Structure 1
Amino acid sequence: MFPKSPSGMSAFIRLIVIFIFAFPTVSLSQALYSRSFGDKKAHPVIFLHGGPGSSSVFFEATTAQLLADRGFYVIIYDRRGEGRSADGNAKMNFDEAFDDLKGIYKHYKLKKASLLAFSFGGLVAAQFARKHPDMVKSLTLCSALVSQQKSYDTILRAAGAIYENKKDSSNLNELASIAKMDTNSLAYRTLVFKHASANGFFNLKEPNDRAKAIYDTYKTNPLITGYVKNERAVSTFWEHEPRHNIDVTPQLEYLHQKGLPIFALYGKQDGLYSTDQISELSNIIGDNHIKYLDNCSHTLFIDQQEVFLNAISSWVGSVR
């Protein structure tokens, strides 16, 4: 496997040294996969992915470098037990997520950073910012959950309207059964998201040309093709985390009152959020701190990538 001749060994060592210094941004420290983009001296932005059981891989493969090119030091990582941070002993609960996020700060020698939270990552980021406000310079919510129950209600209401229109009695009966379930149960969440997926609530029917081109790279980008999802992540989270169905509105209200800049980007075709939910968030953080984008579903940083990059550049750039 290794070169046996002295000259061959020297060449091999030089190759290793070149590799290490050419790709200094990937870290596997403390069993967490992380990667940084951009100048270490620039304003740090930490991306928190969705889940449970997802990964930062899609943001890493499509958008992280572009954001770094706007003058930010972008850090992505996979939470313990998710994506590339495989760990059979991971509890995957909120407290573990908070501790590991603090570990990311330590590893990259950050005292303060802006948090960019996607989907489920919003629940982690809002709670973390409330616990450690001295470590957070700004918080940006990107298609981020605020009230899980309100999103569940939005999904069920929209699915019900579709089934009513189709006179689909079978699915209407199932929705009626779901409405009687324990809203804190894993079975409830599973069935709610089953209907969201079945009705395409996370996907955009007619993405723009830029988004189409990005989604096409999913088939060939080795980061994405090599990604393996932890299918046990949700059940593991349920086993170790008592807070199954939360609302971080109080945390956001507190942080806003304390002067933390909070920004938000959501898509009008994202089936997790109603216009009422967006209005409620706008009332907390201010109309000028939120963008509600057309022709945009859940993966906002792809569906409207240019608007996303411009918004982060303007908003987060103003709090450097």
Structure 2
Amino acid sequence: MKNIRITLLLTFLLITQSAFAQVLYSNTFGEKDNPAIIFLHGGPGYNSFTFEASTGQRLADEGYYVVVFDQRGCGRSENPDDSQYDFAEAVADVDAVYEQFKIKKATLIGHSWGGALGLLYAEIHPEKVDRLVLVGAPMDYPQTFKAILKHARAAYIESNKEGQLKYLDMLEGMDSESLQYANYCFIHAMASGLYTAKNPAPNGKEIAEAMKESEDVKQAMNMTQAPVKGLYDNERYTTLVLYDRLTALKTNVPVFGMYGSDDGLFDEVQLDAIKKAVGTDRFSIVKDASHSVFIDQQDKFIALLKGYME
């Protein structure tokens, strides 16, 4: 029986690594012997391009081994017919990254939705996570939608966009747990500038302009819908409220939070709750940054991250 179990385990690992090579796009920066960082991108349905193009090499230059990958069905990764799009599969895919690159332990950077994914992974595999760093990561999706509506309304009033205000009125009458509601909230977040820093650092502007010229930028801007619909249908991810689980996790895994002062996806209610969950000394608001702190204020992002890694 023991031999059968070993054979089955080896077969599973071979299948997992083979499936990884076929399904998930990945890239690495730096030397394998350096402390490992795995970046978990946002979405679901987005990809790792912006972090890969802007920050991967810079962190490698600071002495880290950085792994980026596009989650299943996202960006440059494939969307196999047998994909389940549930939390168990998403966690298994992260574990496949560890296996593929022979990483025993890593710091997880969870950007936006990637923060929830990182939390889910760290709950199951705390022994493989040095620390979890939340970057612009919602821990309360219903509160994020409330913040978006509030901030979008203020932006539309300031810019005198009466038509958009009428759309917000209709949106507020929709089922707040529906996927359509969530999608429209994120559309208005983009349309009203909630992802945009008011005064990014000069190199942040340069990074953003350079990425616009990249051949991969069209792919990067292509949101894929299979992960969005699948994770909604199977897990209702847009209803997640994770404060209690975040508080529980930090007893086993150090958790840090880094959020931009201009990030319109958050209000004081959620930011205060996250600060309370992770601890005041492990929570940072980065001035003049929005949702992508690692672009808007890259030097501050790297300085904070290095502090967390010590």
Fold-level match, TM-score > 0.5? yes
Distance 2:137 2:72 in 1: 20
- Asked if structure 1 preserves the Cα contact closer than 8 Å seen for 2:75 and 2:224, the reply is no
Q: 1:185 aligns with which of 175, 178, 189?
A: 178
Q: 1:270 aligns with which of 263, 266, 269?
A: 263
Q: 1:214 aligns with which of 196, 207, 212?
A: 207
Structure 1 partner of 2:5: none
Structure 2 partner of 1:127: 120
Q: 2:24 aligns with which of 32, 44, 50?
A: 32
Q: 5+ unaligned residues in a row in structure 1: which ranges?
A: 1-26
Distance 1:291 1:219 in 2: 29
- Asked if structure 2 preserves the Cα contact closer than 8 Å seen for 1:61 and 1:224, the reply is no
Task: List aligned pairs for 1:62-77, cutoff 5 A.
Answer: 62-77=54-69
Structure 2 partner of 1:52: 44
- 2:59 alignment partner AA: L
Task: List aligned pairs for 1:1-320, cutoff 5 A.
Answer: 29-89=21-81, 90-163=83-156, 170-225=163-218, 227=220, 229-233=222-226, 234-256=228-250, 258-316=251-309, 318=310
- 2:53 alignment partner AA: A
1:114 Cα deviation after fit: 1.1
1:130 Cα deviation after fit: 1.3
Provide the secondary structure at the position in 2 that maps to 1:92.
Answer: coil
1:273 Cα deviation after fit: 0.9
- Asked if structure 1 preserves the Cα contact closer than 8 Å seen for 2:108 and 2:118, the reply is yes
- Which structure would you say has the larger Rg? 1
Q: 5+ unaligned residues in a row in structure 2: which ranges?
A: 1-18
Distance 2:286 2:223 in 1: 31
1:230–1:166 distance in 2 versus 1, CA, 3 Å: closer
- Asked if structure 1 preserves the Cα contact closer than 8 Å seen for 2:262 and 2:289, the reply is yes
Aligned residue pairs: how many?
Answer: 290
TM-score, normalised via structure 2 length? 0.86
Provide the secondary structure at the position in 1 that maps to 2:239.
Answer: coil
Distance 2:63 2:155 in 1: 44
TM-score, normalised via structure 1 length? 0.84
Identity across the alignment (%) = 33
1:167 Cα deviation after fit: 6.9
Q: 1:39-70 deviations in whole A, cap 9, x for unaligned?
A: 11111111000111111111111101111111
- 1:277 alignment partner AA: Q
Distance 1:58 1:163 in 2: 27
Provide the secondary structure at the position in 2 that maps to 1:222.
Answer: coil
Provide the secondary structure at the position in 1 that maps to 2:109.
Answer: strand
1:46–1:159 distance in 2 versus 1, CA, 3 Å: same
1:302–1:162 distance in 2 versus 1, CA, 3 Å: closer
Greater alpha carbon shift after TM alignment, 300-309 vs 108-117: 108-117
